[in-house]
Structure 1
Amino acid sequence: MSLALARLPSRTDYVEEVYRVLLDAISDGSLAPGERLTQEEIAEQLSVSRSPVLQALRLLKKDGLVQDAPGRGLLVTPLDPQAIGKLYEVRGALDALAARLAARRGTRIDPALIAAGRRASRGKDVKALIDADVAFHHALYEASGNPLIAQSAQTHWVHLRRVMGAVLQASGSRDAIWDEHQAIAEAVKAGDAELAAQLVEQHTDNARRNLLERLGEVLAERSA
């Protein structure tokens, strides 16, 4: 494992922190799909004992983000384009429902979220770009007034962050993504439920198509 992880501040319980550090590294591609993980190296780099690392890895395995490696040990779960496509189908349905409900309530999505996303799209910080995208969609879920939408979507976003991290480094559609987000926000604010849902469906389909296309290129490059 070649990743350089930052040491954690001194305290007694590190499981959540170790989990978050590894989740972010897997999500932004710093820990690449298929990369082997060792408790000893992670513990050394984070300056913690092996116990919280072991527990964090168990949580990541439960989430499907790491899996048993051939022989022994663990590795970052390889990306599966077919599974990602199915995740986008579910996400599209949830997001469309959220947009429709939010528009019926006439909710206003904070324009600062879109401004922050546009700033992130001009930078090179992939984690910031992913976080901005997730923040917009979670604002949409909150605007719907139905907390079950966010709860249902949370599991899927853990995996969607991974594919975003794998492909957004070289994406040429960052500005278009935030143009689509702004159009959705305007339809929600205007109370046009059907337009908002339609725009979300188009946005999700564009994201699915673009990300899967780029993911295929990334996987081909890694296997070459």
Structure 2
Amino acid sequence: MQLELRETDRQPGQSMTTKLKRVQTRIDYVDEVYKTLLDAISDGSIAPGTRLTQEEIAEQMEVSRSPVLQALRLLKKDGLVQDAPGRGVLVTPLTIESISNLYLIRGALDNLAAKMAAARGAAIDPVYVSRGREISKGKNIKAMIDADMAFHNAIYEASGNPLIAQSAQVYWVHLRRAMGAVLQSSKQRESIWLEHEAIAQAISAGDVVKAGELSDLHTTHARENLIERLSQYLAQ
């Protein structure tokens, strides 16, 4: 399955073709390998169904197999990879059901955070929106995902309830993959930041009801857009 949902003839289980960056000299190789693979899976560079082997990853990143094995174990624990027939692992497929469930949870948390932030009279720094809009004009999907996460994390923090952010982080690992697919569309990038700006304005105005409604609308749009694109791909 193709995470980026772009035209491709990749078949599930096909070997990885993405070139991974070489790991620089660092103390914690495991963390670096994990982050590199996580980013590649999240932004679509490594598609669902892609087979990953310790040998290939270790060779490309110029590290031993030990940190690669540990990084793959962490990714498996996160649910991002799964055992493959024979050797290695496969990047876990995206399914309509899993994406729908993730966005339902995200919607509930985002709604709560937005309403609590508005009730506290919090202000979301406009730099999050301006920076996000600027980044969305480029081609760096990882930077777009990071900017989106930064905006929502700002709302979580503004809510004054640290448990919201802690709960949300469990799901954002998987949401990054979904966002990577949605952000391939330049049209979606523009509408996302228009919605972000409206949510921020409602929070700053102290409008609890509107902040919650706009947050729900934003999550619903994101969920519907991704499910539509994923459905079109699966129908091919």
Which interval holds the TM-score relative to the shorter structure?
over 0.9
Match of 1:174 in 2: 189
Specify which of 54, 66, 76 is matched with residue 51 of structure 1. Answer: 66
Q: How does 1:97-136 map to 2 (within 5 A)?
A: 97-136=112-151
Specify which of 22, 26, 30 is matched with residue 7 of structure 1. Answer: 22
TM-score normalised to structure 2 length = 0.90
Following superposition, the deviation at residue 194 of structure 1 comes to: 1.1
Specify which of 74, 77, 80 is matched with residue 92 of structure 2. Answer: 77
Instruction: Name the % identity.
Output: 67
Distance 2:142 2:53 in 1: 23
> 1:140-164 CA distances to partner (integer Å, 9 max, x unpaired)?
1011010100110111111111011
Gaps in structure 2 of 5+ consecutive residues = 1-15
Following superposition, the deviation at residue 12 of structure 1 comes to: 4.2
Distance 1:178 1:22 in 2: 27
Distance 1:170 1:184 in 2: 22
Q: How does 1:21-100 map to 2 (within 5 A)?
A: 21-100=36-115
Match of 2:154 in 1: 139
Match of 1:204 in 2: 219
> 1:75-119 CA distances to partner (integer Å, 9 max, x unpaired)?
100111111101101100000000011001111111111001111
Distance 1:219 1:170 in 2: 18
Distance 1:113 1:215 in 2: 29
Structure showing the higher helix proportion among its residues: 1
SS of the residue 2:82 aligns to = strand
RMSD over equivalenced CA pairs, Å: 1.2
Gaps in structure 1 of 5+ consecutive residues = none
SS of the residue 1:149 aligns to = helix
Distance 1:20 1:214 in 2: 27
The answer to which of 211-220 and 85-94 deviates more is 211-220
Distance 2:39 2:74 in 1: 14
TM-score normalised to structure 1 length = 0.95
Amino acid at match of 1:145: G
Count of aligned positions: 221
> 1:130-180 CA distances to partner (integer Å, 9 max, x unpaired)?
111111111110110101001101111111110111232135221111111
SS of the residue 1:19 aligns to = helix
Q: Is the 8 A contact 1:103 1:193 kept in 2?
A: yes
- Cα distance change of structure 1 residues 121 and 219 upon mapping to structure 2, 3 Å threshold: farther
> 1:21-54 CA distances to partner (integer Å, 9 max, x unpaired)?
0000000000100000010110111111111100
